[in-house]
Structure 1
């Protein structure tokens, strides 16, 4: 095991886009710390899993501690964990608000703060957050205020952090997906969901992983909100 082999932390890593990101980073030769509420241990010695609620600061501490104990560094953080609740605005409950803000905002804040503190020691690092094209392109049939409130905040925080750390060797970017074929969307919904995109179909999970890997290798790119949304943000 090379001491110079890079390490990526991926949240929401147990399934869907998160699991695809773990696979993509391992293919790129990274060691990975993967976290999610119910994630299981991995047989791959270069993947460490940490089960826990990402909205809890203790989970963030345990994830960073695992990265340092096992691999002695933190190079990349991918904030993939997210909760989406589609309801009319006046139907949201206090519980909905608490759950979405805990995962989408607290889950971003705690682990990003701790990860950047480690990156500062090396004067090198990369943070990527997965947001949503709904922030820029609301759809009348998809009520999404809590997603826009929280993920829109991450888009803004991405630019703010990118500027704050621009001279430290730490880059901060985001990927803003359209609707992606993942376990959260049953196959019978794919045709209707695909029609919401100008290209006429949904995206694949690998499309998001490829976008994150592009940003990983794009050393002159920071503060970017990269739309991977089948043209949604461009218009209809």
Structure 2
């Protein structure tokens, strides 16, 4: 670890190769943070302030490597953004054992071990911040989008966010979540856009910057913890 990076804040971001994750990497660099970016397919960064770690977040060994790399390279972990997630929309009885394993592996196991390790490091430093990306469908089920596995996993993350916030409220660690509607990213083919736009009371999908801005708000809000911030075009308010 070099002395010039010793006091620089460090953000760990999962699912960082594209979409919201890539937007978060850029945003935290603009804030002046060093970034540890991880995903299964992430490429090596040209920026010396970005350390990339390739791996499947569903494998706890990836979490170990990510936090170890952050501490070895930059000396600390100030923020963890649990952005990696997978969404499989199927009628409940059509979900397979493989679907369950894939969704729970990324959405739950990936969150659990990485957050444990990050909190351990944050406690040693005297504080930190955890932000988890969930989904508005957790609070507002929609018959047009069958989503039991999303609600089972991401709903668990929203409850865990509140538990973490309370458990560590006196020890300098905040925990918050951003609950998006559908966001316009490369994962949604053009032919689905009209349907996805119509799911939102505002009549359109959100943009990556909408979620990035919400995370940055929480980053700079020292009196906010245990918050589930809905950025969903009104989905959670009703239809």
Q: Distance in 2 between matches of 1:113 and 1:102?
A: 15
For structure 2, list consecutive stretches of 5 or more residues without a partner in the other structure. none
- The 8 Å contact of residues 5 and 74 in structure 2, kept in 1 or not, is answered as no
Alignment-derived partner of residue 45 in structure 1: 48
Partner of 1:210: 213
SS at the partner of 2:144? coil
Query: 1:102-160 CA distances to partner (integer Å, 9 max, x unpaired)?
Result: 00000000000000000001111000000000000111110100000000000000000
> In structure 1, what is the equivalent of residue 232 of structure 2?
229
Alignment of 1:62-211 (within 5 A): 62-211=65-214
Q: How many residues align?
A: 236
Distance 2:194 2:90 in 1: 21
Q: Please, which of 25, 29, 37 is the counterpart of residue 26 of structure 1?
A: 29
- When the two structures are superposed, what TM-score results if normalisation uses the length of structure 2? 0.97
Secondary structure of the 2:141 match is coil
Please tell me the root mean square deviation across aligned C-alpha atoms, in Å: 0.7
SS at match of 2:170: helix
- Cα distance, 1:233 vs. partner? 0.3
TM-score (norm 1): 0.99
Residues of 2 paired with 1:198 and 1:83: CA distance? 24
Q: What residue ranges of structure 1 are gaps of 5+ in the alignment?
A: none
Give distance in 2, aligned partners of 1:87 and 1:204.
Answer: 25
Q: Distance in 2 between matches of 1:163 and 1:28?
A: 27
The CA distance in 1 between the partners of 2:51 and 2:141, in whole Å, is 37
Query: Partners of 1:199 and 1:27 in 2: how far apart?
Result: 30
Cα distance in 2 for partners of 1:183, 1:25 equals: 21
**Corresponding residue of 1:219:** 222
How far apart, in 2, do the equivalents of 1:168 and 1:202 lie?
A: 37
User: Aligned-pair distance for 1:178?
Assistant: 0.1
Q: Give a deviation string over 1:42-93, Cα, whole Å, max 9, x none.
A: 0100000000110111100100011011100000000000011110000000
